[in-house]
Amino acid sequence: MSKLRHLTSAIFLVVLPTLLSCSSRQENGNPPRPQQKGTSPMSASLDTATLGGGCFWCIEAVYLLLDGVVAVESGYAGGSVENPTYKQVCTGTTGHAEVCRVTFDPTKVSYEDILHVFFSSHDPTTLNRQGNDVGTQYRSVIFTHSDEQDTAARLYIAQLEAAKTWADPIVTEIAPAPTFYKAEDYHQNYFARNGDQPYCAFVVRPKVEKFKKQFSDKMKQ
């Protein structure tokens, strides 16, 4: 299934009511902050988180605002094809998910905060889809880089389930981080460069605005 973000503006306006309905459902969850600590905030070195929650333009735009995040790269991970292209991944046949590799300073932002933002930025209860973006490439996934990250992610999901944050069960995949393939240059920093594009205006921007309200104390100055 081709992406809505590649439809013309005219077609986009036709499906807008449905899209906004899906977006509204996605925003219902308001995850509490994790109670468990899986990584030490005292580490002097940078750490990495690799996360997928639908279109990587959305994930990238949000994490670029988070204080302590040094870099965000959009790319592909979890599939069977080496050096996949965007066109290949869009077919849904390569097994890759659209993900963002987030490099962060754990002395400024903890892995638990990274997870909190992640679960506040997408719907982790819809299998292989976010809104009208459908396919395994849009799955909710956390690729972990250590046993500590794996433990922290599983504990947080258990906490969210216990709190009944969403009516439906969380389907987020947790797996060891595979090879990360950086996406084509035009995907990087996409929202900042294409904010007026219809998909960005109606799908990415609401997520960015929600982040600004919910995490105003954690934004970069």
Q: Which of 22, 55, 90, 200 is catalytic?
A: 55
CB 83 within 8 A of CB 181: yes
* Pair 142, 173: CB distance under 8 Å: yes
Are the CB atoms for 142 and 78 separated by under 8 Å?
no
Rounded Cα distance between 134 and 2, Å, is: 9
Is 90 known to be catalytic?
no
Residues composing the chain: 221
Residue 104's DSSP bridge partners are 47, 69
Q: Which residues pair with 71 in a beta bridge?
A: 103
List, in order, residues 6 or more apart from 196 with CB less than 8 Å away: none
Distances (CA, A) of 34 to 69, 94, 153, 192: 18, 33, 9, 29
Q: Report yes or no: 103 and 60 within 8 Å, Cβ to Cβ.
A: no
Active site residues: 55
